[in-house]
Every structure is written in structure tokens, then in C-alpha cells.
Amino acid sequence: MASAPSSTSELPRAGGNHLPDGARDLVKILVTGPFGVGKTTLIDSVSEIRPLHTEEHLTEASVHVDDLDGVREKQTTTVAIDFGRISLSGGVVLYLFGTPGQDRFRTLWDDISYGALGALVLVDSRRIDASFDVLGLVEEAGLPYAVAFNTFPDAPSHYTGEQLRAALDLEPGTPLVTCDARDAHSSVDALLALVQHLIDDRPAEAR
């Protein structure tokens, strides 16, 4: 993979669950972030196969366990993983593993992240501090990552990229983009920013 493909032709393609004939690079990617940030929605928007979800309805028993601040309208939650797949040009196939967002599922992190080459971290600008724990897990795992601010209708619009980068204490080389997880084109662009980062991060002799 010399460079990330363009997003203009990278939307999900219909046609069964079989890998495309030209599949060459199979890449495991984490789609992660705090509770209610849009991980399931993003995987739904781009997957070329029927996504696998392990969602359950929130109950009163979880009220004192899960922090619903800022996501009071949320009615379901991922309890294991979300899974989807998208084929890019050049034979690149991304296997997308969505992680649960709550602390009570943190014991699953090592298993889900095993073998991943990178992570797309979704962030909600209405509650930036909710992302710190997830970013810590990604960094502890040594995974290259890109950050995508998922746009919500009531999200603050006055923050600059520099302010958002400073708020998350990101390294200068960490990609920072905005996306609408409901929109396939926008979500693919966020994934391509991560793929390009993974390519740039590889040793020159391995490219």
C-alpha cells in the first residue's frame, strides 16, 4: 500500500459476503470511542456486508453504572462488538471492529484489540473529556490512531482544529478530522485518513 485510495469510489458495494477477487491486504481496524459517540452508526454506514451487532436495550439496572450525561436519548448499547467490512481500491479490505464504550466492558479490550493495526477514535465535542480513557487504552496498546469528531446537531461549532487537538493533547502527527457517522462518504473519508496514517507510519522499506 503506497498511498490511501481516493474516497470517490470507495463506498460499500453490494454483492454477498464473499471477499472481492482482488483482495490483497486484509486489515483489522478498531472503531472506538466513549459510550454513545456513534461507533455502531459509522460501521452501519460503510459496511458492505450486513453488520454484526451485539446491542442490548438499556435498562434501569444500568442507570447507576453507565454515564448517560449527554446521551440521554440513547436506548441501546453494544455489549461485545460491532463488526463490518469495507473493500477499498488496490485490494485493501478493512475489517472494522467496534468496541463497547463503557468501563464495565473494559475487560474485553485486550481480546478485541488483538491483531489490530490501528484505531479510529470517535469523539463527541459536547463531552470531550469522555474520550480520555479510550485514548489512554489505544495509546497503551501502542496502536496508531486517527481522531474523528462525529458531528451532532447540537455540537459546538466554534472550536478550531488547534483547540480540539490541544484539548485531547494529541501528537502533531495524529490525524484529526470531522465526520458524520451517518454518512457513508464522510465515514469513509475518516477511515481513509487513518489508512493513510498507517501507511505513513510504516518503515520506508516496508512500504
pTM here is 0.81
Mind listing the pLDDT tens digit for each residue in 140-159? 999 999 999 999 888 777 78
Q: Which CATH superfamily is domain 21-206 in?
A: P-loop containing nucleotide triphosphate hydrolases (3.40.50.300)
Query: Measured between alpha carbons, how far is residue 179 from residues 4, 64, 111, 139 in Å?
Result: 18, 31, 27, 22
Alpha carbon distance 103, 99 (integer Å) = 11
pLDDT of residue 202: 75
pLDDT of residue 20: 74
Between 116 and 52, residue with greater pLDDT: 116
Mind listing the pLDDT tens digit for each residue in 23-65? 889 999 999 999 889 999 999 999 999 988 765 444 444 444 4
With cut-offs at 50, 70 and 90, classify the pLDDT of residue 119: very high
Asked whether residue 168 carries a pLDDT value surpassing 90, the answer given is yes
Percent of the chain scoring above 70 in pLDDT:
73
Sheet holding 176-179, edge to edge: 52-57, 76-87, 92-98, 25-32, 118-123, 145-150, 176-179
Give the count of beta carbons closer than 10 Å to the beta carbon of residue 64: 7
Contact status, residue 34 vs residue 131, Cβ threshold 8 Å: yes
Give the best-scoring range by mean pLDDT among 5-9, 75-79, 99-103, 190-194.
190-194
Contact status, residue 94 vs residue 77, Cβ threshold 8 Å: no
Alpha carbon distance 110, 142 (integer Å) = 12
